[in-house]
Amino acid sequence: MSNKRFILPYGDPLRDFLSQPGITKADVKSILRRRGVFFSDDEKVNTVPVLIKTGISPYELEELIDKVKGKEDNPKVHTQSIPWAGGDKSLLDAIPAELNIQDIIDQPFSNYKVLGAPNFKAVDGNQDHVEMEFKVERYDLTKSWDKNTSQFSGKVTLRKGDDNLDVSMSLNHTSQETKLVAGKVSRKVVQNMKSEGFVSSEAEIRRIRFNDFSNSNRVAFLQDLSQKQLKDALYFKDTKDIGFRPDKKTELPSDISWMEDKVKNMILQGDDIHTTFFVKDKKYHQFLEVYRIEAEYSFSQEECSGNCRIVFEFSEFIGRGKNDAELLIRVASISFIDKVSSISTNKVKEAILYQLEAAKLKLHEQYREPSL
């Protein structure tokens, strides 16, 4: 057959395809459930061999490809911080002059590699604001089978506060592979800072996690972060989506007791969702585990303007049941009113996400539990 796009993968190629991080155990489980196959332990190590033996249909293959594509090619940001102990020394001084990213990754048998030899550089000459941009090339079966490599970009950005007290770290990724690389780079940089005395050896990286908050404070944190963006660069318009579930550890008030033992996950979608009684009436907040908000904004930059939707979510709380899930922020959709053709959509999305950086850490400090 001359067009390899229509050859279904099987055997080792199918195993490699199903084993990639972009396909979750829930994706595989969904296909098997439709076939009437159920597992008491649905980890991929148990379920993937079944699909390898039985093969997958063209429809199932397209479904998985679409899911992988939907999760990738879109910037996502995690933000972390750590106390600075280097006084007025520059942040660039704390970065190793020769940082070999290949040695940091050290995964010789993985299906991806980092291209070139990226390193940190000062942004606009500011030695207290540094970043490393990198590209990952992955052996990829989500494209046509004769073009099975894909490239994804990532970035690690560090900024030292004007008060010389903290360093914020933004991990920008577009795929699971770039997320892994960004995480390894940030850990290596922190390790070097500690060994050189720029950061205390006992200091811990501060992350924005689901269990950092009480139920009530988590609602307040997500509301303030999503709604108090009122500048031309990013202006809040409406809340479109809220995801939550009743807290099983609490006894629900009588007027929402209908959710008990019946609701595992609820998503409200529509207009002015932030005015519904679940959100507006604070007496309910202590009984609800809110893990996601999607809001609509207008934005204006030098080279473009338009509207977008941003998702704020502790995505692994529902997906993987992790109480320590980190906050992830991404631009779900974007439309332009005007735009210079030379600027990429992903660069615009990165600029939009940057508008939220300072607010994230400030609000986390304000609303997190004092003991944390």
CA 5, 6, 9 angle in degrees (round to 5)? 85
329, 254: one domain: yes
Residues 258 and 134 in one domain: no
Gap between the Cα atoms of 10 and 18, Å rounded? 10
User: 372 lies in a domain?
Assistant: no
Instruction: Examine the domain organization and report whether 216 and 361 are in the same domain.
Output: yes
Average pLDDT over residues 97-105: 83
CA dihedral 220, 265, 26, 135 (to 10 degrees): -20
- Among residues 25, 44, 71, which one ends one of the domains? 71
Q: Give the chain's domain count.
A: 3
Q: Kindly report, residue by residue over 78-93, the tens digit of the pLDDT.
A: 899 999 999 989 999 9
pLDDT score recorded for residue 64: 84
CATH of the domain at 131: 3.30.530
Q: Indicate if 28 and 80 belong to the same structural domain.
A: no
CA 75/CA 94 separation, integer angstroms: 27
Other beta carbons less than 10 A from residue 149's beta carbon: 11
Cβ atoms within 10 Å of 16's Cβ, excluding its own: 15
Please state, in angstroms and rounded to a whole number, the distance separating the CA atoms of residues 34 and 358. 45
- Are residues 219 and 362 both part of a single domain? yes
Question: Are 104 and 55 found together in one domain?
Answer: no
**pLDDT tens digits for range 154-171:** 999 999 988 878 899 999
pLDDT for 3 = 45
What pLDDT was estimated at residue 2?
40
pLDDT of res. 262:
73
- Same domain flag for 66 and 93: no
- Are residue 180 and residue 295 in the same domain, yes or no? no
Percent of the chain with pLDDT over 70: 92
3-26: pLDDT as tens digits: 444 578 888 888 888 887 778 888
DSSP strand pairing (266-269 vs 121-123): unpaired
Q: Are residues 87 and 197 in the same domain?
A: yes
Q: 224 and 360: one domain?
A: yes
Give the residue among 355, 326, 330 at the shortest CA–CA distance from 81: 326
DSSP state of 362: H
Q: Compute the average pLDDT of residues 114-121.
A: 91
Residue with tokens 């609602």: 219
**pLDDT average, residue stretch 275-294:** 86
Find the domain containing 134 and state its range: 76-207
Closest CA to 335 of 370, 292, 296: 296
Give, as one character, the DSSP assignment of residue 9. Answer: P
- CB of 86 closer than 8 Å to CB of 199: yes
Q: Using one digit for the tens of pLDDT, what is the confidence trace for 285-329?
A: 999 999 999 999 999 998 899 999 999 999 889 878 899 999 999
Question: Same structural domain for residues 150 and 176?
Answer: yes
- How many Cβ atoms from other residues are within 10 Å of residue 326's Cβ? 18
Give pLDDT tens digits for 219-266.
999 999 999 988 889 999 999 999 998 888 888 888 888 887 777 788
Last residue within a domain, chosen from 207, 231, 249:
207
